[in-house]
């Protein structure tokens, strides 16, 4: 019964996500469920770490982040031998068996496998793909860029163009390697399309945009959409849109310029009950700024 209504709520939350702002979707989710529906979980945002080996191996340089703070697709990227060898500039190698054990533990408890409040919000915040639409009615106009990384199907870029046929306009797909800025043509289109493009590269980060170059516009309003089919896979908890929004207003002097915090990554410097999986506002105390 509870499972069922939970599913319905998830659908409603997904609908909400499409119709209103991200914030409303992430925040609104829990009010659909209703406080206290899931007894005993009240106040606990993510399941606390209950794996001793994880706590030791992953809690030596920073607080041992609960698996519920990132979705499976993010942990999959973070927890490979290759990724750990260059882990945010540090070497965090693990032997093969330990890696397998910790990886299994984390993937089984990732945000999208949890119904706890903050895990749920993180799942919603990372659930939808990159999907940028632009209505183009002048030359030199492009969609916002999307980025691809990874291998094989992870690199598929969806190109959707409508109201192009018959206008004489030319839509161009462009790429920029590493960061957005140095654009090169990849393909061009003069009729409506729904195609998938894949550069088949190996793990390189490449940005794409779709639009009409200078000289490519004749008339009408052509709609272009670029999509990545995948969704966002942040490598940092602090890059998750919901987490970013919650900390936007904290001045730098209290975070990176605060010697007892260093960066937002050190959750437990401010969240006094972080190890218990509790991140509520009334448990926050910023070192050296007791009055915040």
| Contact pick of 55, 113, 236, 245 for ligand HEC (by CB under 6 A) | 236
Q: For the CB of residue 150, give the shortest distance to ligand HEC in the complex, in Å.
A: 18
CB neighbour list of residue 3: distance below 8 Å, 6 or more residues apart: none
- Say whether residue 24 binds ligand HEC (CB under 6 A): no
| x/- letters, 30..69, toward ligand HEC (CB under 6 A) | ---------------x-----------xx-xxx--x---x
- How many chain residues are in contact with ligand HEC, going by CB under 6 A? 38
Largest CA distance in the chain: 65
Q: Comparing C-alpha atoms, which of 19, 26, 46 is closest to residue 242?
A: 26
| Contact pick of 233, 237, 241, 277 for ligand HEC (by CB under 6 A) | 237
| Contact pick of 157, 159, 173, 261 for ligand HEC (by CB under 6 A) | 261
User: Residue 17 or 261: which CB sits closer to ligand HEC?
Assistant: 261
Q: Which helix (H) or strand (E) holds 31?
A: helix 22-33
- Say whether residue 271 binds ligand HEC (CB under 6 A): yes
Helix, strand, coil in percent for the chain, rounding step 5: 35, 20, 45
Q: For the CB of residue 235, give the shortest distance to ligand HEC in the complex, in Å.
A: 7
Query: Segment contacting ligand HEC (CB under 6 A): 142-150, 179-187, 224-232, 253-261?
Result: 253-261
User: Residue 57 or 228: which CB sits closer to ligand HEC?
Assistant: 57
* Beta-carbon count within 10 A of 228 CB: 20
Local structure of residue 204 (DSSP, 8 states): -
Counting beta carbons within 10 angstroms of the beta carbon of residue 263, is it exposed (0 to 12), middle (13 to 18) or buried (19 or more)? exposed
What long-range pairs does 4-7 form, CB within 8 A, spacing at least 24? Answer: 6/33, 6/115
Interatomic CA distance for residues 199 and 171, integer angstroms: 18
Contact positions with ligand HEC (CB under 6 A) in 272-291: 279-281, 284, 286
Locate 277 and state its tokens. 């999986």
Interatomic CA distance for residues 132 and 146, integer angstroms: 7
Interatomic CA distance for residues 276 and 284, integer angstroms: 13
| Contact pick of 213, 254, 272, 276 for ligand HEC (by CB under 6 A) | 254
- Say whether residue 88 binds ligand HEC (CB under 6 A): yes
List of residues contacting ligand HEC (CB under 6 A): 45, 57-58, 60-62, 65, 69, 78, 87-88, 90, 92, 102, 118, 236-238, 243, 246-247, 250, 254-255, 261, 263-267, 269-271, 279-281, 284, 286
């Amino acid at each position: 019964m509870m499972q069922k209504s939970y599913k319905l709520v998830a659908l409603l939350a997904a609908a909400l996500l499409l119709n209103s702002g991200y914030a409303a979707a992430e925040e609104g989710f829990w009010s659909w469920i209703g406080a206290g529906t899931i007894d005993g979980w009240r106040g606990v945002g993510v399941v606390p770490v209950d794996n001793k080996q994880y706590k030791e191996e992953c809690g030596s340089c920073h607080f041992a982040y609960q698996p519920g703070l990132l979705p499976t697709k993010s942990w999959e990227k973070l927890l490979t031998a290759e990724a750990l060898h260059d882990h945010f500039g540090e070497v965090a190698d693990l032997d093969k068996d330990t890696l397998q054990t910790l990886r299994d533990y984390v993937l089984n408890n990732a945000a999208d496998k949890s119904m706890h409040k903050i895990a749920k919000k993180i799942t919603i915040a990372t659930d939808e793909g990159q999907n940028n639409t632009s209505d183009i009615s002048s030359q030199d106009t492009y969609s916002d860029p999307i980025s691809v990384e990874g291998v094989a199907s992870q690199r598929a870029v969806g190109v959707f163009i409508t109201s192009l046929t018959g206008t004489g306009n030319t839509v161009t797909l462009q790429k920029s390697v590493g960061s957005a800025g140095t654009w090169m043509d990849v393909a061009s289109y003069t009729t409506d399309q729904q195609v998938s493009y894949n550069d088949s590269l190996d793990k390189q980060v490449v940005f794409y945009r779709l639009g009409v170059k200078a000289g490519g516009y004749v008339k009408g309003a052509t709609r272009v959409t670029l999509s990545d089919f995948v969704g966002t896979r942040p490598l940092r908890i602090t890059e998750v849109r919901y987490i970013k929004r919650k900390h936007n207003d904290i001045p730098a002097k209290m975070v990176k310029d605060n010697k007892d915090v260093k960066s937002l990554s050190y959750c437990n410097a401010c969240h006094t009950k972080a190890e218990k999986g509790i991140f509520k506002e009334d448990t926050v105390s910023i070192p050296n700024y007791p009055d915040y």
